[in-house]
Structure 1
Amino acid sequence: MNPLVRWFHQLGSPPYFDRFAARWAPWAYALGLLVMLPGLYGALFQVPADYQQGDSFRILYIHVPSAWMSMAVFAAMAFYAAIALIWRIKLCEILAMACAPIGAGYTLITLLTGSIWGKPMWGTWWDWDPRLTTELILLFLYLGVMGIYAAIDDRRIAARAASFLAIVGVVLLPIIRYSVVWWNSLHQGQTIRMFGESSMDASMRGPLIWMVVGTHIWFVGQLLARARADNLRREAGKAWVADVAGAGR
């Protein structure tokens, strides 16, 4: 058997996944933080104030990575959910459901930082702008997935039911992405591109790239930690879980 295929089969084993997550989640957290630190330093102390927005624009170094993560995590959740429904792989059910609270957190941060940024720029905390409204709907979808998963006692049935909503909800992502193009929007158009031409000054892009990359790595740690916790809950009563508890891991 191909070594990579064999590793994927091993990863589907609850005890093996527990050991994998316990080992690598702390490393992902640490590496994500280390990558974000240069971005935070550059955003706060090196990047010059914007000629129109002054220092208030600096919130974009939290807002933009969170906004991108809110959509990326939902896409990952839908991907795992599809695999779980098609091939009935329990680990993918766990990973999909672990994505939901993490993605909801990023979406909430996006909405809050957007409101804080919008107040001095637009003169209001909230406007039913297409980008803001679709991002709010995304938060409701995350909460819906979490609610369905919590409402059904059988973990596998709950995960499959919630997975349907995750897959259906993925159609919202391109609407969020192109809302500022398709409709008249108070929200500014796309000025930031990780790849390709961007209207943002080059001195401002560097810290943003550090923040975006660091946030993605941090998410890996979050996903492994939450999935590990759910895996342990599902396997409670098994001998290997008692061994883990006894070892204090």
Structure 2
Amino acid sequence: MADKKWMPRWFYQLASPRWCYEITGKLLPLFVIAAILLLVTGTVWALAFAPADYQQGNSFRIIYIHVPSSILAQSCYMLMAVAGAIGLIWKMKVADMVAKCCAPIGASIAVLSLATGAIWGKPTWGSWWVWDARLTSMLILFFLYLGIIALNSAIESERTAAQSTAVLALVGLVNIPIIKYSVDWWNTLHQPATFKLTERPAMPAEMWVPLLVMVIGFYCFFAVAMMLRLRNEIIQRERRSSWVRDLIAG
């Protein structure tokens, strides 16, 4: 068994469905407000005030949805894999619930990424779809999400389903660096990464600052969606617990 002495207290508090339900109830309003403010501000800024691209004109503005959704789809998958690993190692029910809740949200975000990429690709490349390395690896990510959702639905035992999907999610992690570095490893049509931690953004500040606002806004939206689904999952799984019965009765 893993040594518990070096683990922070909050890590084990997360193992309590009741504590997790209560803390998400307190955090949810804050993230709702943040998501609304950031997404509205970022959208207005991107559409009304950001300058048009010197090559692509106004068609580039779809970047303010495409890039955040692409980043979030990958981050959601990594969270799902990490939660699955925690469930495998420490047998935490809440971690299994988080992993399960990530799959449909991540699949939806991946669809948004693929759809906006196709819309952007038509005026840029002259085609809705090409079997580009970045596009193909993102499509594989979407199929991984669908596979995990299907596996969760096919297995009746919650514990067995959590273990099986966690293994699949961990195996699928190999696709994340392929998505990220595909534009560097292969000669692709897709443009290089918009944001890099080691380099200054190529676009001017009046274009990348609203993009950063949208990225943070998408993460806040994801947090809201995740907490809503997680709270519902906790109630469903813990419905026989006394605290859930008291909560419903109250």
Structure 2: distance between partners of 1:9 and 1:180: 40
2:215 — aligned with what?
Answer: 212
Question: If the length of structure 2 is used for normalisation, what is the TM-score?
Answer: 0.93
1:95, distance to aligned residue in structure 2 (A): 0.9
Given that 1:32 and 1:214 are in contact with CA atoms closer than 8 Å, whether structure 2 keeps it comes out as: yes
1:74 — aligned with what?
Answer: 77
2:39 — aligned with what?
Answer: 36
Q: What does the per-residue CA deviation read over 1:129-180, in whole Å, with 9 as the maximum and x for residues that have no partner?
A: 1110000000000111111111111112111111100111001000000111
Question: Could you say what secondary structure the match of 1:110 adopts?
Answer: helix
Given that 1:194 and 1:209 are in contact with CA atoms closer than 8 Å, whether structure 2 keeps it comes out as: no
CA gap of 1:197–1:11, structure 2 versus 1, over 3 A, is same
With 45-54 and 216-225 compared, the bigger mean Cα shift is at 216-225
Structure 2: distance between partners of 1:78 and 1:11: 17
1:236 — aligned with what?
Answer: 239
1:59 — aligned with what?
Answer: 62
Structure 1: distance between partners of 2:62 and 2:113: 10
- Aligned positions of 1:158-237 closer than 5 A: 158-193=161-196, 196-237=199-240
In structure 2, runs of 5+ residues without a counterpart are: none
Which of 119, 123, 133 aligns to 1:130? It is 133
Question: Could you say what secondary structure the match of 1:52 adopts?
Answer: coil
In structure 1, runs of 5+ residues without a counterpart are: none
2:148 — aligned with what?
Answer: 145
CA gap of 1:133–1:237, structure 2 versus 1, over 3 A, is same
Question: Could you say what secondary structure the match of 1:192 adopts?
Answer: coil
Question: If the length of structure 1 is used for normalisation, what is the TM-score?
Answer: 0.93
Q: What does the per-residue CA deviation read over 1:179-202, in whole Å, with 9 as the maximum and x for residues that have no partner?
A: 111111111122433663121122
The amino acid across from 1:210 in the alignment is V
Instruction: Please provide the CA RMSD for this pair.
Output: 1.8
| 2:10 counterpart of 1:7 | yes
CA gap of 1:104–1:69, structure 2 versus 1, over 3 A, is same
Which of 116, 120, 130 aligns to 1:113? It is 116
Structure 2: distance between partners of 1:151 and 1:26: 34
CA gap of 1:204–1:156, structure 2 versus 1, over 3 A, is same
Which of 91, 96, 103 aligns to 1:93? It is 96
The amino acid across from 1:22 in the alignment is G
Structure 1: distance between partners of 2:179 and 2:10: 36
Structure 2: distance between partners of 1:70 and 1:83: 20
Instruction: Show structure 1 runs of 4+ deviating over 3 A.
Output: 4-8, 191-195
